Chain A
């Protein structure tokens, strides 16, 4: 490769490289250093990390986050796939654009407003409880808001839209010949789906699922508004360190631990489904 080609290559990637250095690598390094300098101590130490492994409440925040995020991811996939399938194969071509627009309509409202709206729907005097009690199905209102279920509901509402888009795009790329070939070879509709369509759309599912996982596990707003703070997830625990005490070492350490979890999730997804091919 000639020197000039090499220079052109560097010139092409340098804006992206600079962006990554300034807005990711440098803050990341700063955060790593801050995490090693515990509040109120002069020396370097791993104390901010140590508390995560020794304090069960901190560890619990991670398990809570993983439980909620996995539930959200699985439910979102299960709801989004049939939705995307209907959009891709059952809705007439000329209506698909409108249907897609309607599917993403909730994206147009503010995330915070949407979460508070869910709070009103799920509240003791909200739409669901009021309907069920007036129909006589419930004698007393039940607690729906301020629960983990409320957090999961708020998340799923958002991420079903995201997953629908990624899976729809994947389904539309599939040639109809795959299904025809499977049918010619005697496969039933179910067999064709399980053995042909599903494996071919798995990359799209996993890309959407990974995005869902990453965005949900780092989200502070939804669990804070809908979960009623009845349990802490990692982002809430991180915010708590900063609020009054300004303990940036603990907040940084917890953030890096969360980042490590996301990295592991990426490695698992990347190795299993080879995301880079999608």
Chain B
């Protein structure tokens, strides 16, 4: 047994009480236990499924793939049925042997925007392990009453001194490093260690103009309260949900492009309720489920399905009809190796600590 395995087991043992509580909390066999992001906790999304199928959905929210996988490793096999995961991280679940191949013939694959299926991250050995359910952009969000909207059409805004002290940076290193890469003409997929010094220069310049480095809630609050006029790394997921209250909040896809985020649903190999898990995935990908997920109270985002039953108003806020042009300019999250990932996170740490 490797040291890493021993460590994981020890860690698991040390939180055995928590795992026991989690499995105890996981209710009857007919229930569906879902590890999700906050947008799936909206009763407006879950209730129609529960009413139609009689399956109760128990959700546990997490942030970050690492934290989600840690919960799984500390649980008993079979505790969880489905999981929401960054599409670029589906591989991590597959490598751990956690996910079950999904029956593609029972999923509306043809309805999904092809650009967000990202087979390179969700299909392995001819089998699909994750299916994209929602996507959007890490790009530039802004208050158009306070900035020159023309400035927001270029990633030069990342270092534009005209906005010094009026900028917030979304606190997630991968997409923002992706934006920094595009600003210097690099492709997010091609980043290597050799690019780090140039990226560092962009990040430090960005930090020098920033008022704060904000998490999801603080990002929205900063724009909504006027604490910041520009949010680097923001997008429709920040502005769309509050657009009705503050129509001046908007986002742009700069000419250099934006970073495409994409979340997928995966089914656990050890699920005791695979039929219910598949029904849930099918519901989420249905036109109704897609519309409800896209406009979840936690955050809005683009539905992965072109058939989502969104109202005209919702489509306008999400700029649904502009998606083909947006997608053509978007690039995926950087998907670094373990070693480069660590170096990128350290670079992010260095940026935050820079005064």
Q: Which residues of A contact B (CB under 8 A)?
A: 26-27, 29-31, 33-34, 36-37, 39-44, 51, 55-58, 60-61, 64, 119, 123-125, 143, 145-146, 224-225, 228-232, 237, 240, 242-249
Contact = CB atoms under 8 A, between A and B. Distances in A.
B9 to A, nearest CB: 9
Contacts of A37: 3-4, 6-7
B226 interface: yes
Given A33-B6, A145-B227, A232 B66 contact: no
Contacts of B172: 244
B226 to A, nearest CB: 6
Nearest to A124: B227
Q: B213, B214, B352 — which one has the most chain A CB atoms within 10 A of its CB?
A: B352
25 contacts: A30-B11, A33-B6, A36-B3, A36-B7, A39-B338, A40-B339, A44-B3, A56-B350, A56-B353, A57-B352, A57-B353, A119-B221, A124-B226, A124-B227, A125-B226, A224-B215, A229-B212, A229-B215, A231-B353, A232-B349, A242-B64, A243-B67, A244-B345, A245-B341, A248-B70
A243 B66 contact: yes
A249 B4 CA distance: 9
Contacts of A245: 66, 341-342, 345
B214 A229 contact: yes
Main secondary structure of the interface of B (DSSP, over half): helix
Contacts of B65: 244, 246
Contact of B352 (A44, A119, A230, A249): A230
A197 B64 CA distance: 53
A68 to B, nearest CB: 14
A34 B227 CA distance: 41
Contacts of A229: 171, 212-215, 218, 352
Nearest to A248: B11
A175 B6 CA distance: 58
Contacts of B63: 243
Interface residues of B, number: 43
Given A37-B4, A123-B225, A224-B215, A231 B352 contact: yes
Question: Nearest 7 CB-CB pairs, A to B?
Answer: A246-B66, A228-B212, A243-B64, A229-B213, A30-B14, A37-B7, A146-B212
Contacts of B352: 57, 229-232
B70 A33 contact: no
A124 B64 CA distance: 31
B66 A228 contact: no
A30 B13 contact: yes
A183 B345 CA distance: 63
Contacts of A42: 2-4
Contacts of B10: 29-30, 33-34
B93 to A, nearest CB: 12
Given A40-B338, A123-B225, A225-B218, A230 B66 contact: no
A242 B66 contact: yes
B206 interface: no
B4 A230 contact: no
Contacts of A242: 64, 66-67, 70
B155 interface: no
A244 B64 contact: yes
A80 B214 CA distance: 32
Interface in B157-206: 165, 171-174
Contacts of A230: 210, 212-213, 352
Nearest to B169: A229
Given A61-B353, A246-B65, 15 more contacts: A30-B13, A34-B7, A37-B3, A37-B4, A42-B2, A57-B346, A57-B349, A60-B353, A64-B353, A225-B218, A232-B353, A244-B65, A244-B66, A245-B66, A248-B7
Contacts of B269: none
A234 to B, nearest CB: 12
A5 B3 CA distance: 45
B227 A123 contact: yes
